[in-house]
Amino acid sequence: MHKFPTMEPVSFQPYPSTFLNLRLRRDILQRAIIYEGAAHRLGRGKTLHRTEIHGSHRKMRPQKGTGRARLGTKQSPTIKGGGKAHGPKPRDFSIKLPRKMYDLAFRTALSYRYRRRELIVVDNTLEVQWRKTRHVRHLMVKHSWGQEDKRTLFVTQEARPKLWAGLNAIPHHGRALVVGDVDVKDLLESGRVVIEKDALNTLLAERGYHAV
């Protein structure tokens, strides 16, 4: 455990090997990321079918006797302003993934960061003293958490307004998320994860483990 913002070591905290020492399972991580991407995909495309076009649905002219082609209602897809025959409709792209497999993906991602020494746990909160961008940037550079050393993900138990405000102008250095908004992709796409002890314990409780 470290003390924020000085990052001096203050104590040791034991965690189950089934939570922070799992072997890397790329197949499980891939399925979890695909599952998350599908859940966030929006199928909002929509066109009007002929039954949804306003106006009378009477036949526009007689079937025979006019010498012209047969024609139905003005909502016909063959007429300008008519409905779309096979247009897109709102749809759900989400797929299913067993809860235990998704929890395993979370623990695998955390274990991957831990073994690479890219999981930093702080014993206190990640709130900074000032909400100024220059203050947060100085903190990132001091601890080699900035752009030159890959982006940093800060995970907090609750929102930390000053940290949020300081990071808004420097997204290339890192970003901060409440633990409830973190997914597997977030844990893998940044250079390191700096997390509050309470947030890590929340993940331990929510993403369950089985003692060996």
pLDDT classification of 122: cutoffs 50, 70, 90? very high
Structure tokens at 151: 């982006």
pLDDT classification of 212: cutoffs 50, 70, 90? very low
Mean pLDDT of the residues in the chain: 90
Q: Which residues pair with 195 in a beta bridge?
A: 121, 155
The pLDDT value given to residue 65: 92
Q: What are phi and psi of 28, to 5 degrees?
A: -65, -45
The pLDDT value given to residue 190: 85
Spans of all domains in the chain: 2-25+98-206, 42-92
Which of 72, 176, 84, 81 shows the shortest CA–CA distance to 128? Answer: 176
Q: How far apart (Å, rounded) are the C-alpha atoms in residues 80 and 88?
A: 18
On whether the 2-25+98-206 domain is CATH 3.30.70.20, my answer is: no
pLDDT classification of 130: cutoffs 50, 70, 90? confident
Strands (E) across the chain are located at 2-3, 8-9, 42-43, 91-92, 119-122, 152-156, 174-178, 192-196
Task: Indicate if the pLDDT at residue 149 is higher than 80.
Answer: no
Q: How far apart (Å, rounded) are the C-alpha atoms in residues 139 and 128?
A: 9
Q: Are 53 and 76 in contact (CB under 8 A)?
A: no
